[in-house]
Chains A and B, each alone.
Chain A
Amino acid sequence: MNIAHAARIVCAGLFAVALAGCASTQNLKAQSAKFDWTQTEKKVVIVQPDIVLSELTAGGMTEPRADWTDATRKNLGGAFEKYMAKKSVATVPVDELTDEHEIQLSKLHSAVGLSIIVHAFGPAKLPTKKDALDWTLGPGAGALRDHYKADYAMFVFVRDSYATAGRKAAIAGSIVLCALTGVCPNIQGGTQVAFVSLVDLRTGNIVWFKLYGSASGDLRENKNVGVFVSTLMKDFPL
């Protein structure tokens, strides 16, 4: 199962980056969604982002970095709150998922999100869905509504990698090799793949989904995180 999961991330990543050489985004909005509030306060749960920052080693292994990941996760949470505050939407940050059901929801979202990328944006269109955003986390998401008294939740997924010095040398080497012999190995540098979902906690349905892919940008710097979030959240429907 882990191999299949990793393969989907790689596939989604390649696709997202292939969309454009530089940063690119795509979003989908559910046609049937209402985008309204029933609670007295406009409030969105920001579920702890599923995020991993890695080094891309010379040979192409992605080596997770705990220090970068922890720092960026915190910065990202803060940037989302700031963004929502500007829209006069209150946020409930869930900084550390401990509840078993909520952990499962977060993992479910990552799995569903990767499927959306492959089947809604990617080449494997499903005849029953076509381009429609018709995906759900199921009524189990209602637990978040009861717990936090909010109508919506945001789930965030980020995989971000940075080439090591060795990888950069390998990329440079491949360019030289290409010039010398005409053999041009395609050696990728670091990539960013991210997606966010807005989930209606009354139904569990994903009512808005945004995909972001980039071959540049540095989330390790807090100053870049704000720009990243505003790019990611452009077209946010609430």
Chain B
Amino acid sequence: MIMRRALALLCASLLVSGEATAAKPQPVGELPLNYTPAPDSDEAGLWMMSVEVEKGFRSSPLLVRDPALNAYVKSVVCKVAPDRCDAIRIYILDIPYFNAAMSPNGAMQVWTGLLLRAHNEAQLAYILGHETSHYTLRHTIDMWRRARSATGGLMVLTLLTAGIGALAAIGMMNSLMAHSRDEEREADEHGFLLASAAGYDPAQSAEIWRAEAAEDKVTPKHEDIFSFTHTHPAPEERLATMQKRAAELSQGHHEWIVNKGVYLDAVKAFRAHWLDEDVALGHYDASLLLLNELIANEPESGLLRFYQGELYRRRNAVGDPQNAVAAYQAAAQFADVPAAAFRGLGITQMKAGDKTAARQAFEKYLAVAPDAGDRAMVEYYLSHL
């Protein structure tokens, strides 16, 4: 009896200690300007770990250091959240997946897979607005406190039920994930207000999710580890919400900023590298879908059609060789066609047994790129055609 009372007492003290409160910890609210957490606080601990992570970004081989691209992305953050402009540091990381993330101390990661997918500055602005909102709304510390309280509560339950309560861990994880999705919704809404207040076309926020919902469906499941769809609302839901919000806001409104040309100019020099990386992932269905999206946005691009050809050639499913030939030939219609399009065309036609066409394509390749590193290989092909 005494023992039982002792156990109840210990659990009660655990509950009142605040580490295992039945009531959910309340959100801390917006981050004050020029804020530094108290040194002995849980928040300071998270910031300290963020500083370590940030050191990793700064010295990472994945960091894209190009000053012009960094200045451009930063300028968009500053337009969306002028009062947070000085506090936020941008780290562009060369990772070919659609993602961006925010540390509680103001370090923002932007992955190149995102920069490849955005069609214009407005789309980038809505995503950066979302990330900025996680920072200003201090979501990390809210999440940490909820997890601490929930795991503490689980401990009490485990002790009081002699271990059976540990089964509630599944429910706890579900509840934490649901909270995470709620925070994402809040960041979507807050980010939406920031970017639309800065004048960015609200319809573009919905466009991102329309494309993402489609791509998500054809991305192989084993790459889910890079996907944010468990902790975030489904792209379909975000699409519907954003369409609704955009429609509300657009009624009788003036000119919105889209800045497609400015954006494409800013990323132009990196496009080929980012596309190479995307092709190298080997998820051809998703890449082809992405390229269709990009080509719809930039119909005059020879570069994009060249990569379309590369993807068809590599996937090599029924009908793909013909699709590849068509894509390479379409690429050749535009001034920015890469020389490699003619090589790709030659290889595809050589395999199909069309010797005359293959010879023409290889000759064109060597004429356009006389110093090509694989010149000897192509000459060998030519000697056997």
Verify A176–B14 contact, CB threshold 8 A: no
B59 touches A173 (CB 8 A): no
Q: Which of B126-155 contact A (CB under 8 A)?
A: 144, 147-148, 150-155
* Contact (A58, B55) CB under 8 Å given A65-B45, A169-B14, A185-B163: no
Asked if B318 is at the interface of the complex by the 8 Å CB criterion, the answer is no
* A-B Cβ contacts below 8 A, count: 109
A36 at the A/B interface (Cβ < 8 Å)?
Answer: no
With beta carbons under 8 angstroms apart, the residue of A61, A70, A172 that contacts B10 is: A172
Contacts of B10 in A (CB 8 A): 169-170, 172-173, 176
Residues in B whose Cβ lies below 8 Å from that of A107: 56, 59
- Contact yes or no, B49 A67, CB < 8 A: no
Shortest Cβ distance from residue A90 to the other chain B in the assembled complex, whole angstroms: 27
A228 to B13, CA, bound (A): 33
Majority-rule SS of B interface residues: helix
Q: A63 an interface residue at 8 Å Cβ cutoff?
A: yes
Decide: A173 and B11 in contact? CB cutoff 8 A. yes
Given contacts A58-B155, A59-B152, A177-B159, contact A103 B59 (CB under 8 A): yes
A170-B155 CB under 8 A given contacts A97-B55, A103-B59, A176-B3: yes
Q: Which residues of B contact A179 (CB under 8 A)?
A: 3
Chain B hits for A197, CB < 8 A: none
Q: Residue on A with the closest CB to B49?
A: A64
Q: How far is the CB of B104 from chain A (nearest CB, A)?
A: 12
Question: Complex formed: what's the CA distance from A181 to B160 in Å?
Answer: 11
> Is B352 close to A, CB under 8 A?
no
Contacts of A174 in B (CB 8 A): 159
User: A91 contacts the other chain (Cβ, under 8 Å)?
Assistant: no
In the bound complex, do residue A66 and residue B45 qualify as a contact, i.e. CB atoms below 8 Å apart?
A: yes
Number of B positions contacting A (CB below 8 A)? 39
Question: Which B27-82 residues have a C-beta within 8 angstroms of A?
Answer: 39-40, 42, 44-49, 55-56, 58-59
Docked-complex contact B6 and A176, CB < 8 angstroms: yes
Q: Count the A residues whose beta carbon is within 8 Å of the partner chain — how many?
A: 37
Q: Are B19 and A58 in contact (CB under 8 A)?
A: yes
A54 to B158, CA, bound (A): 24
Q: Which residues of B contact A187 (CB under 8 A)?
A: 155
Nearest CB of chain A from residue B139's CB, rounded to whole Å: 17
Chain A's closest residue to B150 (CB) is: A59
The CA of A107 and the CA of B162, in the complex, are separated in Å by: 42
The A contact surface, by secondary structure, is helix
Query: Which one of A65, A97, A166 contacts B19 once the chains associate, using CB atoms below 8 Å?
Result: A166
Question: Do B17 and A61 have beta carbons less than 8 Å apart?
Answer: no
Using Cβ atoms and an 8 Å threshold, which residues of chain A touch B148?
57, 59, 61, 63
Report A-chain residues with C-beta under 8 Å of the C-beta of B55: 97, 103
Q: Which of A54, A107, A169, A179 has the most CB of B within 10 A?
A: A169
Tell me whether A67 and B4 are in contact (CB under 8 A): no
Q: B113 CB to closest chain A CB, in angstroms?
A: 17
A169–B154 CB distance below 8 A? no
- Inter-chain contact A169/B17, CB cutoff 8 Å: yes
Question: Is the pair B58, A100 in contact by a Cβ cutoff of 8 Å?
Answer: yes
How far is A61 from B153 in the complex, measured between Cα atoms in Å? 12
- In the bound complex, residues from chain B placing their C-beta under 8 Å from that of A103 are 55-56, 58-59
Question: A124-135: contact bitstring with B at CB < 8 Å (1 yes, 0 no)?
Answer: 000000000000
Residue B7 at the chain A interface, CB threshold 8 Å: yes
Interface string of B162-178 (1 = CB under 8 A from A): 11000000000000000
Contact A164 B17 (CB under 8 A): yes
Binary CB contact string for chain B from 4 to 29 against chain A (1 if under 8 A, 0 otherwise): 10110011011001111000000000
Task: Flag if B13 contacts A181 (CB, 8 Å).
Answer: no
Q: Which of A159-190 contact B (CB under 8 A)?
A: 164-167, 169-170, 172-174, 176-177, 179-181, 183, 185, 187
- Please name all residues of chain B whose beta carbon is closer than 8 Å to the beta carbon of A59 when the two chains form the complex: 19-20, 148, 150-155
Closest to A68 in B: B40
Residues in A neighbouring B156, C-beta threshold 8 A: 58
What's the nearest-Cβ distance from chain A to residue B23, in Å? 16
**Closest CB-CB distance, A73 to chain B, in whole Å?**
11
> B46 to chain A: which residues have CB within 8 Å?
64
Residue of A nearest to B154 (CB): A59
A185 with B39: in contact, given A61-B147, A61-B148, A180-B3 (CB under 8 Å)? no
Q: Kindly state the separation between the CA atoms of A101 and B144 in the bound complex, as whole angstroms.
A: 32
In the complex, which of the residues A59, A101, A180 has the most CB atoms of chain B within 10 Å of its own CB atom? A59
Is A60 part of the contact surface with B, judged by Cβ < 8 Å? yes
- In the assembled complex, the Cα of A173 lies from the Cα of B156 at a distance in Å of 9
Alpha-carbon distance between A183 and B40 when the two chains are bound, in angstroms: 36
What are 8 A-B pairs with beta-carbon distances under 8 A? A61-B147, A107-B59, A166-B152, A169-B13, A170-B10, A177-B159, A177-B162, A181-B162
A-B pairs with lowest CB-CB distance, top 7: A59-B151, A64-B45, A166-B19, A100-B59, A66-B44, A58-B152, A66-B48
Given A57-B152, A59-B152, A64-B49; 9 other pairs, CB 8 A cutoff: A58-B20, A58-B155, A61-B147, A65-B44, A103-B55, A164-B19, A166-B14, A173-B159, A180-B3
Residues of B whose CB lies within 8 Å of any CB of A are 3-4, 6-7, 10-11, 13-14, 17-20, 39-40, 42, 44-49, 55-56, 58-59, 144, 147-148, 150-156, 158-159, 162-163
